[in-house]
Structure 1
Amino acid sequence: MTYNLENAPVFTCLGGGHGLYQTLRAARAAGAGDINAVVTVADDGGSSGRLRRELSMIPPGDLRMALSALTEDSDEGVLWRSTLQHRFGGNGAMAGHAVGNLILAGLAEELGDMQLALDTVARWSGSVGRVIPVCQQPLEIEADVAGLDDDPRVLRSVRGQVAVATTPGAVRRVRLLPTAPDATPQAVEAIMAADLVTIGPGSWFSSVIPHLLVPDIVQALNATEAKVVVILNLSPEAGETHGFSTERHIHVFGQHAPELRVDYFLADSVKGPTEGERTHLRRAASGVGAAMEFRDVREAPRSGEVSTRHDPAKLAAVLLDLLRTS
């Protein structure tokens, strides 16, 4: 299906952390008429982890970061962006807490609902989109990890997002606790209403794959008429995907959601694979019904160092091009 860009498209972006932040900036640069951020809720580290444990709430950190990416570009919106991201210093009980996390925690208690809290902050900050938790309950990631034993064939379980992201072993597979959680209705609605859905980039096992372990999300991705684009990382994450090739990322994606079909995998072409490697990547992508796209989506080098971040303007142009493609 070819999309008519006479109307501003609706973007729904799945992920978490810095990867989702960059994708949301790209959605803004693309002139999206509506933007929905569907955000993972498995974080258990830092300020988010403390609030999660102390208040038995959805971890707010990735939600806060998505909110900050969507604040309006006025002076007030910029102030909200920096305030939401501001962290307290010192050595006391407040040290390390992000202001936005505390605001969301307080509003969620006051209003009795995290989605209402997110929508309230979005209204205050003049947000150009909506932030939606993928599930209404905090999730826990558990991984099977090799290399933690003298025998490399032995798999050991590692539990928790931080533990999975920083393990010195090789992650083979992850699962969610509780298993097969229900998605929030708003997340499903956002996928179904979209013209384009993005998945990633980000920490593969802790920000991207968890979305694929929520059955309602997979069903919505297969049912939506939107183009579904998986944005691959520009480099392996230290820890959980250390040493992973781009092809390995695609295989892991397919292994965790074998019934899911997407339209495109998007990889960077600037420091991209050889033609022979591209053939293997196209074959891997076809395993989940997808085409493989190689485009320049990397930020320009700074001080001679190659960037590991996506350029929002470049990514926006590519996503709009894919949206036009039949």
Structure 2
Amino acid sequence: MASLGGGHGLYQTLLAARRTGAEAISAIVTVADDGGSSGRLRREMDIIPPGDLRMALAALSSDTEEGQLWAETLQHRFQSTGAMAGHAVGNLLIAGLTEVLGDFQAALDAVARLTESAGRVLPAVNLPLEIEADVSGLDDDPRIIRSVRGQVAVASTVGQVRRVRIIPEKPRANPETISALHDADLITLGPGSWFSSVLPHVLVPDIVDAITSSDALRVVVLNLSAEPGETQGFSAERHLHVLAQHAPSLRVDRVIVDASGLPNESERVFVQRAASVLGATAVFRDVCQYDEDGRSINKHCPDKLAQVLTELYAEYAADRDGTAGAPDAHRG
């Protein structure tokens, strides 16, 4: 199984991936972060920002006591008031191992061995990217479009993001990422910050080609709701239209939509139409996580998402070769 995304969205997907019993998991991570600890290390050391990769390593850490100790340590941030303030231990560990081993991927793999990882974490490309967005609503005249550069700036803009680009444009994908996509029987894209964590993947031509040409079950996991800033006011349908606009050649099989977010049948018809542009069918299921009082916490529930992915894969396998199966019965 190969999962593309970044940040908290990818974290939840990876927890779900583990619950499917997948034999092998590859986390393919956006590398455009320029804020916080990651941004500081990116600027000071000229490395791929490690933050989203660190989160993926934490999500895949073993459930053993040792693995969970490492997961907690990777995520721990220093609370001092000096130069270390705000740095995540895992970011520093990845940066330090990169210098010691002379290779960023080798550093990620070394941390994965420490955490007894359930899978491998891979940068989408082997260089740090920048995100640049066309944004409206920053001036009195809403027709004026301005460029906003940087992941943090795009994610926090008060305007409406119309389109994003990555710099450098059309970079070469990490060869390890392409291999993981070719080997996967199940590929997921999303959820996550749509413009800064999800769309950057499909702006890499090699990644789009690998997904579109794959005979895996290809699934888009749609966000539970619009996000302040990036996708303020976006409907589920709009998320899919934006994805298709940024990657017109992308083809997927299923789009998972939280049923509670779209109870109205007429709205679901529009989402189905938007999904069909990508060659997909929308699937409406309960995948939201709730607190003990029954209120949504705006996160995908790993158990619910795992169940849906397992069911969809079984249906796909049955249609493909006449036998029902699960991701763990194949390559992962």
Same fold? TM cut 0.5: yes
**DSSP 3-state at the match of 1:44:** coil
**Cα distance per residue 1:245-276 (max 9 Å; x no partner):** 11100000000000111101110012324100
Check if 1:290 corresponds to 2:315.
no
Superposition pairs of residues 1-326 of structure 1, within 5 angstroms: 11-325=1-315, 326=319
**Equivalent-residue separation in structure 2 for 1:276 and 1:305 (angstroms):** 25
Conserved? CA contact 2:165–2:203, under 8 Å:
yes
Equivalenced residues, count? 316
**Equivalent-residue separation in structure 2 for 1:52 and 1:307 (angstroms):** 31
**Equivalent-residue separation in structure 2 for 1:243 and 1:218 (angstroms):** 27
**DSSP 3-state at the match of 1:110:** helix
**DSSP 3-state at the match of 1:73:** coil
AA at the equivalent of 1:52: R
**DSSP 3-state at the match of 1:225:** coil
**Equivalent-residue separation in structure 1 for 2:37 and 2:297 (angstroms):** 27
In the TM superposition, residue 91 of structure 1 has moved relative to its aligned partner by: 1.1
**Equivalent-residue separation in structure 2 for 1:299 and 1:204 (angstroms):** 19
Q: TM-score, normalised by structure 2?
A: 0.94
**Equivalent-residue separation in structure 2 for 1:143 and 1:302 (angstroms):** 39
**Cα distance per residue 1:193-223 (max 9 Å; x no partner):** 0010000000000000000000110010011
**Cα distance per residue 1:139-169 (max 9 Å; x no partner):** 0000000001111011000000000000000
Worse-matched range after superposition: 294-303 or 13-22: 294-303
In the TM superposition, residue 304 of structure 1 has moved relative to its aligned partner by: 4.3
**DSSP 3-state at the match of 1:188:** helix
Moved over 4 A (4+): none
AA at the equivalent of 1:274: N
**Equivalent-residue separation in structure 2 for 1:90 and 1:124 (angstroms):** 26
Q: TM-score, normalised by structure 1?
A: 0.96
AA at the equivalent of 1:233: N
Question: What stretches of structure 2 of length at least 5 have no aligned partner?
Answer: 320-332
Alignment correspondent of 1:8:
none
Conserved? CA contact 2:154–2:196, under 8 Å:
yes
AA at the equivalent of 2:31: V
Worse-matched range after superposition: 155-164 or 263-272: 263-272
